[in-house]
Chain A
Amino acid sequence: MTAVDPNFRVDTPPAGRPRMPRWRVRLSTWLPFLLPALILLGWEAGSHLGLISTQILPRPSAVLTKAWGLLLSGELLTHLGVSALRALTGLAIGGSLGFALGLANGLSERSAILTDTTVQMIRNIPILALIPLAIIWFGVGEVSRLFLVAISVFFPIYINTYHGVRNVDPQLIEMGRAYGMSRRTLFRRVSFPGALPSIFVGLRYALGLMWFVLVVAETLAAKAGLGYMAMQAREFMMLDVVVLSILLYALLGKLADMITRALEVRALAWNPAYARH
């Protein structure tokens, strides 16, 4: 399959990690990108052979050329920056609120009784149904878009934090009490690390929703951002820019996921289920 690296050598893996020869590590890093690369190649070839009309779908090379042009003019980075800033601000606001309430409800029965039902009711409203309300409340501006992103990431982070804290092994909590841990220490040493795998699930889910809502929010009368760039391009039938913005969303989503995974592997190294990826 692959030629064995002449410097082939098995490094001693860090504790808790499965042994994997170097060439396999390298292969497993690049193999996931094989399929996307093949799709792009097929698409390019199809365009050249006239199987795919460039009126319907521009060639990848054309999209790339366009991307290069936009990058040189600085336009691309501006839109990317605006979108990323929006996404991260919304994530920071909604995520921290969801995290805080999830912790509060996981740790305090009273807080959960008081607020959980309400949150569950609001959660069942499709977020996009809130768009008209957001526009009336905050106008067609930045605040509306941040509101939508924040509220969309709030729920997955809230629910997974809440359940994560709730599902920490009660035997460990009892052990902590028997060993004289204070409430603070019990949280820091037992409840929080125990909830962390679940919190990460919430974060990854939230990231997916974040991009989804951001696209919709940006196609609504924004003056910058990837969604705006796509809408502008549609007006002028610039198909390559439309495709480019779609591809950029895919890349950004993958990037966010990769960062979360890297964090997961670091934070959850103790868990045999995570040590591998």
Chain B
Amino acid sequence: MLDTSQTGAEVRLSGVEKTFGTNTVLSRLDLTIRSGEFLSIVGKSGCGKSTLLRLLTGLDQPTRGEVTVDGHAPADQRGEVRLMFQEPRLLPWASVIDNVAVGLPEGGTLANRRAQAEAALAEVQLPGKAQDWPASLSGGQRQRVALARALVSRPRLLALDEPLGALDALTRLVMQDLILQVKRDDGFTAILVTHDVAEAVALSDRVIVLDAGRVAKEVVIDLPHPRSKGHPRLAALEAEILDAIFAKGRD
């Protein structure tokens, strides 16, 4: 099932602008995300983080400029680009395994779809729950199913829109490790939008701070995984990023 020759997608944004009426959410944004990179986007509420993700996943179109995933418009890449939401957004009337299969492109034999969904469930370490209803799972387990649904089509780009925001602190740590692990196994490019700077620093290769629709700061996290939580370098980077986020508010 796992195709190791597959690599992450390269994402390019050139001169991207997004306006809603008179409100400019993103202004002339240029950004390149390398194949296989783990990029985090942080910033205050309303800085345009989620809008950026919607553009990357083809749910929305830029007002000006161009977004490409491996040279194509993101909307053409269905199945190659997957989005994980803050809420699990599982179909309550479908069993866990059927929810995972939602992530597979239409077509294919039933047995094949099942096997792929089961492999994805195994990957997120949720055995024995395939036939359960989502209502019987805990919040963390539901988000695991949502992750399996995002992974089952073997995407080359995974966009994560604060997927751990609603989880308790301990579950969040476990899920962070899980995301790192599947990222290492599958080799996709990951873009994480988060409020949690510590999370961004712990997971990603690069963190960008978005402010009023522009990149206000870019920080490369050049520490190998696994990163120990108390590492002084991480703490310093975290402080640097937090400073950048609140810089505007101080003057």
Contact = CB atoms under 8 A, between A and B. Distances in A.
A172 B91 contact: yes
A194 B93 contact: yes
Interface residues of B, number: 24
B204 interface: no
Contacts of A175: 85, 89
A29 interface: no
A267 to B, nearest CB: 9
Given A171-B87, A172-B91, A180-B79, A16 B132 contact: yes
Interface in A182-223: 182, 185, 189-190, 193-194, 196
A179 B133 contact: no
Interface string B114-138: 0000000000000000011111100
Contacts of B102: 176, 179, 181, 189
A178 B136 contact: no
Contacts of B132: 15-16
Interface residues of A, number: 24
A142 interface: no
Nearest to B86: A171
A269 B57 CA distance: 34
A189 B91 CA distance: 8
B72 interface: no
Contacts of A174: 59, 89
B135 A270 contact: yes
A45 to B, nearest CB: 48
B94 interface: yes
Contacts of A193: 91, 93-94
Contacts of A16: 132-133, 135-136
A15 B131 CA distance: 8
Interface string B169-204: 000000000000000000000000000000000000
B103 interface: yes
B79 to A, nearest CB: 6
Interface of A: 15-16, 171-172, 174-182, 185, 189-190, 193-194, 196, 268-272
Contact of A178 (B57, B91, B133, B135): B57
B78 interface: yes
28 contacts: A15-B131, A15-B133, A16-B132, A171-B85, A171-B87, A175-B89, A177-B59, A178-B57, A179-B82, A179-B102, A180-B78, A180-B79, A180-B106, A181-B102, A182-B106, A185-B106, A189-B91, A193-B91, A193-B93, A193-B94, A194-B93, A196-B93, A268-B93, A270-B94, A270-B133, A270-B134, A270-B135, A271-B92
Contact of A180 (B87, B94, B105): B105
Contacts of A176: 102
Nearest to B134: A270
B136 A171 contact: no
B241 interface: no
A176 B85 CA distance: 12
Nearest to A184: B106
Nearest to A174: B59
Contacts of A185: 106
Contacts of A181: 102, 106
Interface centre among B57, B87, B92, B105 (most CB of A within 10 A): B92
B42 interface: no
Contacts of A268: 93
